[in-house]
Structure formats: C-alpha cells, structure tokens
A and B are shown apart, each in its own frame.
Chain A
Amino acid sequence: MPGAIVLSSSMPPEQSTGPKLKPTLLFVDDEERILRTLRLMFTSRYAVRTTTSGHEALDILRRERVHALVSDQRMPIMPGVELLRQAREVSPNTMRLLLTGYSDLQAVAGSINEGEIFRYISKPWNSEEIRVTIGSAVDIALSLDNPPPDEIHPEPLDERILVIDDDPDTARQITALLDQRMPGRHRVVCAADVESLLQVLQQDDFALVISEVRLAGENITDIIKALKRHQPHVVTLALTSYQDSATLVGLINQAQIHRFLLKPMRGALVWRGIESGLQRHRAMRASPRLADRHQVDSPERQAHPAARRILSFFQGLGKKPN
C-alpha cells in the first residue's frame, strides 16, 4: 500500500553499518532551539547537520551527501523557498521538506513550483509523523544513490494529456498552446464533470493531468489525490483560481502535484509546467523507481464519493497501486 509506511523500514540497517554510514539530515531554521530539539530527536539514527543560515546550508549540500533537507520558510536573508530552489540545483537527489509554522499561499506555491518539495510539515509537528515522513524521504533518497544520469528522454508520440475543468476555455487554450509549441504530438482529452472523468479514465492512460481544484463548485482534491495514489507515474499540474494554502498543503502531501498555477492562465508558465511535467513522466516511465519519489501520504478520509468511486474503479481495473 502506498502511504502506509512501516516505521522500521525507514531506519537504516543497524548493526551491519557503522555509525559513519548513517544517512544525513540537514535542518535549517532561524530558531536554534528548534534545531536543538530536532538534532536530539534524530541523532541516534541519522547524521544530523543543523544551521541557521541558508548560505551555510548550501555549502553543506555542496560538500556532502545529504539525504533530506528540512527547512523553515520564514528566515532572514534567505527564505526557505529560495533555499529549496537552490538546493534543488546544488543537490537534486536530496529530498526537500518544508517545516514551518505559518506561510502564505505564495510561499507554499513557491515551494511546489520552485522547490519541488516532497512534504510540507506544519509547526508544531507531531513527533511520530515527522519521524515517519523523514524516514520515508530518506528511504527514497537512499534508493536514488547512483541514479541514472538525468538524461533527456525521447519524446514519444501521442502522449495524452487530461484536462479536468468545467470551463471549456481551459482545454481550448491548452490545446492551442500545444498545437503552437509541438503540433501533432499530443492529444488533449477534457473532462468537465466527474462522470466524464470516470469514462475517460477507463478509456485512456495519461501522461499528464492538468486539473482545476473545483468542479461545479465542488472541491475535487480527493479525486486528484486518489489518481496520484493509484497512478504515480501520472504527473499532475493544478491550474486553478482557488487560493487556499491548506488545500495546497494537502495537494503537496497527498498528491505530489508538480506545479501549482493560478488562473488566469499564463501561456508561458503553463507551457514550462507541461514541458517539465512530461519530462518527469518520461523519466518515471523509463525508471519506475523514480515514481517512489512521488509517494504520497494517504488522506485521512476519502470524503468525496467520486474519489471512492475512482478507488473502486482502479481496483476493478486490477491496476494494482505499486
């Protein structure tokens, strides 16, 4: 089951490896007391580095292999999102997590779009949850050691893109965008309601999903989450006018959305999102292990009846979640 992470699996093999081989965590926060408590908490299982400075954090990332970077958002000099963005360049195989007490929508969106974070953890945190979350981040990072080089994957023909939006303009604009940038290569399928969504999912396999957060006034994040849970290689972009940071945090932790884009849609931004999303999808197709990186937490509840239907639909299809 994805999401149901067993605690023991997150611990490195104990006796066989010496203490020097403990995976490394890097915590960044402007409050030293936060750093101290985190160090005490994780020091028995991990090599823990801490710093109050984003610049020093980047130095550490350049110097040594860090498996997971956990950063606060609001810090003087270099805000968390900026650190995560640079960390992504300096050390792409370090899993990035945000641990913060308060942040505005802009910061959360930035952590997705620029930081491509694995999880968003709120302060004050639950110690069991943070152990599990960091454990699974480290597991993924360990599996990424000696990864295949980040090669450009050939563009296969006929990749299908699913647009979930009740505004027909969105699909029209995206089709026009694709026709202009790479004519004839892709097929855009649109689902304007839950019924047609179920139908197209039955007929097609998609590379990329571009989804609104609400359909006919109803929140469909549960559906987006269910989709990601069962088809981790499908990359999701949220394209919405709905601005709510709590919803967004859910979409990070439980749907690993690739980009969060605000309407009115801006062609260049959406195109960049599509391009990197397809790149990501091809990489995961080529090496399914990468899909682990997109592991999601299981939502606490499947409130939306359609989400339950999607679940049973996937089970009915026999598409076993990996």
Chain B
Amino acid sequence: MSELESMLVPLAPLSPAQTVNEVGEILLDREYRRFLCLPVVDRGRPVGAISRDEVQSIFMKMYGRELNGRKPIFSVMNPRPLVVDMDQSLDQVGRYISANIRFPITEDFIITRNGEYVGVGHVVDLLGAMQSRLGRANSELTQACERLKSSRAQLVQSEKMASLGQMVAGVAHEINTPLGYVKNNVGLARDLLDQVGRRLAVCEALLARLVSGEADEAEVEASLAEIAELRENMGVEVASEDIAALFDDTQYGIDQISEIVLNLRDFSRLDQAPVDSVDLNQCFDSALLIARNAIKYKAKVIKQYGAIPKVRCSPSQINQIFLNLLTNAAHAIEGEGRIAVKTYADQRFVHVEVQDTGKGIAEEHLTRIFDPFFTTKPPGEGTGLGLSIAYQIARRHNGHLRVVSKLGLGTKFRLSLPLTEP
C-alpha cells in the first residue's frame, strides 16, 4: 500500500470554468474549511490550484469582487500547483514538497495516480508522517548502534579467542613432539626392563642352583641355552650408550614440556589484568616460546636484550602484544627471514623493538594498521583487530606502540612503556 494512501482526501475538484465568486462560496462552506486550496481539474488531469489566500486577496482589493468575481478561475489560479503521484515514496514526496512549496504556506498538494486526479493531501499531515518516520528511523539507528557496540565487543572477544586458539594449536604442537618421543621411550624402557628381568630371573635361578651345588652339567647347559635364546629374541637390541641417550632424551623432553607449561601461566589469565612489576625481557621470552611454532620454520630470532628495569604492567596483556607482533612478523616473512628483538631503556621509557625482514607495509596502509577491522588478509584469516587491541593496551598503560616500515625491506614495531616512578 502506498504511503500516501493514508493522507489522501478524495475531494471533489473544481473545473477551470468555474468563477471566482463560486469558488469563494465553496471555500466558505464548512466542509471545505480545512482546505488551504482547492484543486482545479480538467478532463481528469490537475491543471492548477486556487488558494483561499488568493481568493481572499482578490476580494479584499477595492472592487475586487466586482472586477474579478465573474472571471473563470483558470485566469487567477496557480497553474503550477504541488502535484505528487500516489506511487511516490514518502521521501520523494517530502523532498519535492520542501523544494517547491511557497512561503507562507498557502497550498495543500494534489495527489494523482498515473496522472489522473484522485484527491489532495495536507502539508501538515505530510509533516506528521515524516516526523513519525524520522522517529522510527532514529530508534532503528539507536538499536543498530547498540548492536554494533555489542558485536564490536564480541569481535574483540573473538580476536582474543583467535589468538588463544592460535596459541593453543602452537603449544599443542610444541608439546606433541617431545611427548611423542618421551612416550615411546618409556614404552621401550619398559619392554627392555621386562626382557632384562626375564634374563635376570633365569640367571639367578641358575646361580642359586650352582651355589647350592645341586646343578648338573645338563641343567647348566639348558639354562645357558635359555639365556642365549632370550638374548637372541630380545625385541629391542640396544647398546648401553643408546639406553643412556634414551633416558637423557626422556629427561630433556620432560623438561621441555615443563618449560612450556610454566610459560603458559602468563597467558592463562588473558581476561583479568593483574598489574605487576614485570621484567619485559622475561615476558618476551615466554611469548617467544609460545610463538615458536609459528616462527621456527620462517625466521631466525636475534635477541638483543638490554639491562632494563622492571615496569608496572599487566603481563598477560603485554604478552598478548608480543605474541601479536611476533606472529605478524612471521606472517610478513615470505620464505626465510630474521626477526630482531631489541630492548633498551631511556630516562622515561622502556622500549621493546620487534623488527622483521618481511615484505613491509605499503605507505597507504601504514596509517591504518591500528584501526579496528583494518586487515589486508583475505576474509576469514584475520579479524583486523590484533594491532588495534595491541595499540589500545599500550595506551592504557600510558605507553605507545609505533611502527616504521619499508616495502620489501621489513617492518619495525616499538612498544614503549613508562618507567615506574621510584
């Protein structure tokens, strides 16, 4: 249904030949009181409008009624009235009316359907309709804004989950390798001990018989043969240095797993932000360990840690920045490259620089990389929030996150956190 339909007043129109006097009479009729003007229609088509204002001004002139009263209205009407079509939207009508209406407002508007007159509409009704419509649009906008806010919060959360997920996958891989050989070694050791145990049992039985002096030659021979056979059939053939290596490896693997798990502690409280006095070198090392899987096959990490004082910060949040910078660096490197990490302090700040030999960031992108949702990765591969969150974390710590980059050469990020007042 057309939006104009509700405003339509199907008023009987005037014909062009009717006189000014007649129109004056009609306008006085109670029924027509509400109308600012009357439509003039010729053979179904609107040709003009005569306003109450115009008629009044004719009559108010000296001898106006006598001079003009008998004239047909087409000689005094407005030949360009406001005409809108029933099919037009409220917006179109609103735009048209506000562009063409004359002030003071002395006319209503004529409504046609396919050019044929159907009635008139009041400007006041139009204003009312537009206003209620604005109200609706406004409340829709408010709702949309609310939805955006909450989906932004969700996206921030999902970026957090994504970096957590990435971390978990990396950690799983880091642990799976040592776990693989530790598990296997334990199985091997067990088999080995079983076999050694069986041999030992036969040896001891033989020894007991020998000590007691009851063993005869045939029995000794049989036992020796059994021992030889056990030795022959041993499922695992190992030299003693292999056994030593097996235990060394197992120990090494367990140490590796413990180290990874210990380092996970800092990442485990991503949501809370307990502020602590933190050694950023140590903090970076644990991020390196977690990101190792993403980096290992792409880049050599060169560490240049300075002697830096501890700073007050939330280690889990700073870790999130480091992890983000490291994985970004690894992603930027095509083939093999280097990631240089440098820490140093000046009078006011502790700085951590992460520099890669990756493909660099184009100048037009450089100003936008901290913008939320800005990403150059294909859809689904990045939320575009990683760096914007990192930036916000830095700001919240009264610090900075800055970037310089050169296409084809690489990118350097510098995180600066303020020194703790003594």
A-side residues, CB < 8 A to B, are: 31, 33-34, 36-38, 40-41, 43-44, 74-76, 101-102, 122-125, 127
| Interface segment, one of B19-27, B115-123, B235-243, B283-291 | B235-243
- Alpha-carbon distance A102/B179, docked complex (angstroms): 13
Q: How far is the CB of B177 from chain A (nearest CB, A)?
A: 5
Name which residue of chain B comes closest to A126, CB basis.
B183
B-side residues, CB < 8 A to A, are: 169, 172-173, 176-181, 183-185, 187-188, 234-238, 242, 245-246, 249, 252-253, 293, 296-297
Residues of B within 8 Å of A43, CB to CB, are: 236-238
Which of B177, B187, B245, B246 is within 8 Å of A31, CB to CB? B177
When the two chains form their complex, are residues B181 and A33 in contact, meaning their CB atoms are under 8 A apart? yes
Name which residue of chain B comes closest to A43, CB basis.
B237
Residues of A within 8 Å of B176, CB to CB, are: 101-102, 122-124
Residues of A within 8 Å of B181, CB to CB, are: 31, 33-34, 36-37
When the two chains form their complex, are residues B253 and A33 in contact, meaning their CB atoms are under 8 A apart? yes
Q: How far is the CB of A287 from chain B (nearest CB, A)?
A: 35
Residues of B within 8 Å of A125, CB to CB, are: 180, 183-184
Residues of B within 8 Å of A36, CB to CB, are: 181, 242, 245-246, 249
When the two chains form their complex, are residues A44 and B180 in contact, meaning their CB atoms are under 8 A apart? no
| Consensus secondary structure, chain B interface | helix
- Alpha-carbon distance A128/B173, docked complex (angstroms): 22
When the two chains form their complex, are residues A40 and B238 in contact, meaning their CB atoms are under 8 A apart? yes
Which of A33, A76, A101, A127 is within 8 Å of B187, CB to CB? A127
When the two chains form their complex, are residues A33 and B249 in contact, meaning their CB atoms are under 8 A apart? yes
Residues of A within 8 Å of B242, CB to CB, are: 36, 40
Which of B180, B234, B238, B296 is within 8 Å of A123, CB to CB? B180
Name which residue of chain A comes closest to B297, CB basis.
A76
The 6 nearest A-B residue pairs measured at CB: A101-B176, A102-B173, A124-B180, A123-B180, A37-B184, A37-B181
When the two chains form their complex, are residues A41 and B180 in contact, meaning their CB atoms are under 8 A apart? no
- Alpha-carbon distance A124/B173, docked complex (angstroms): 10
Residues of A within 8 Å of B236, CB to CB, are: 40-41, 43-44
Candidate in A36, A37, A43, A75 with the most chain B CB atoms within 10 angstroms: A37
- Alpha-carbon distance A41/B180, docked complex (angstroms): 13
With A31-B181, A44-B237, A125-B180 in contact, do A37 and B249 touch (Cβ < 8 Å)? Answer: yes
Name which residue of chain B comes closest to A102, CB basis.
B173
Residues of A within 8 Å of B177, CB to CB, are: 31, 34, 101, 123
Q: How far is the CB of A126 from chain B (nearest CB, A)?
A: 9
With A102-B169, A123-B180, A124-B176 in contact, do A40 and B297 touch (Cβ < 8 Å)? Answer: no
When the two chains form their complex, are residues A123 and B179 in contact, meaning their CB atoms are under 8 A apart? yes
